[in-house]
Amino acid sequence: MDLPDLVVPVREGVTNEELRYALRSWVAHLPHRHVWITGFRPWWAAGARHIPTDQAGGARYVNTTAAVRAACEHPEVSDPFILADDDMFVMRRQDGPFPVFHRGHMRVLAPAHVPRSNEYLSELRRTREFLAGLGHEDPVSYDLHVPLPVDKAGMLRALDAAPGHDAHKRTVYGVLAGIGGTRMPDVKVQRRGPQFDTGSPFLSTLPDSFANGAVGRFIRDSFPEPCPYEVRRRR
């Protein structure tokens, strides 16, 4: 069986050290064929393949949706591929087909009444209502900070079906495509302190927890050597 490609949407920026260590973790622990950076490719990541996208859309979900669509429509990207973010780190070897994970039922994660000020939960609830309108009364959420196997045609159908719900495109795709999966808690580490699972097969960070927190030091110590996707000097 051919290995899948890894696709990672990247926003415009200068350095992106999280991406550097994510790439190192994938090389070490996630067998794949190619890495495709969609959007902005930092100069030092010239070893990865690149699909440029227009990031003038402003809103984050607009840019990431364009990046995912570009990967699905690119003939050289494998089908299926594995979708990852630049802050998703694979800490243990993953052999065989990459598993599918979800967070559990959306009715538990986003009750009917959530504070309007909580943008994430409000969007999660709207996504649940959208899916319920299509007949999926009790959907699960795939909005986890771990890589996700993606079928191109299924993702394109999800993107076409759910304009305005793009912030939870992983969930719309997973539910409409019926991908199933295993429930797991999210692995995002938001604080600087040492309260995280050092034995977890996956980790994810915020910019501050990566740069200044114990989890960032743990990840950097785990992958000290450059990987083939990195170049040592600006070309």
pLDDT score recorded for residue 125: 83
Residue 124 covered by a domain: yes
pLDDT of the residue at 77: 98
**pLDDT, position 129:** 87
pLDDT tens digits for 65-105? 889 999 999 999 999 999 999 999 999 999 999 999 999 99
Average pLDDT value for the chain:
90
User: Whole domain around residue 53: which residue ranges?
Assistant: 6-222
Tell me the torsion sign for CA atoms 106, 194, 30, 77: positive
* Cα distance between residue 36 and residue 122, in whole Å: 31
pLDDT above 60 for 117? no
Does the residue 231 lie in any domain?
no
Residue 4 CA to residue 41 CA, distance in Å, equals 20
Q: What is the pLDDT of residue 162?
A: 83
Residue 100 lies in a domain: yes
Q: Domain of 141: which CATH number?
A: 3.90.550
Helix pair 119-133, 169-177: axis angle to 10 deg:
20
Domain count, the chain: 1
Does 167 have pLDDT greater than 90? Answer: no
Residue 131's pLDDT is: 92
Quote the percentage of the chain above a pLDDT of 90.
Answer: 74
Residue 1 lies in a domain: no
Identify whether 135 is part of a domain. Answer: yes
Strands 49-51 and 35-39: parallel
3-state SS class at 200: coil
Residue 143 has pLDDT above 70, yes or no: yes
**Tens digits of per-residue pLDDT, 208-226?**
999 999 999 999 999 999 9
pLDDT on residue 15: 76
140 found inside a domain:
yes
In terms of Cβ atoms closer than 10 Å to its own Cβ (0-12, 13-18, 19+), residue 148 is: buried
Handedness of CA 156, 160, 166, 171 (dihedral sign): negative
Average pLDDT for 96-117: 79
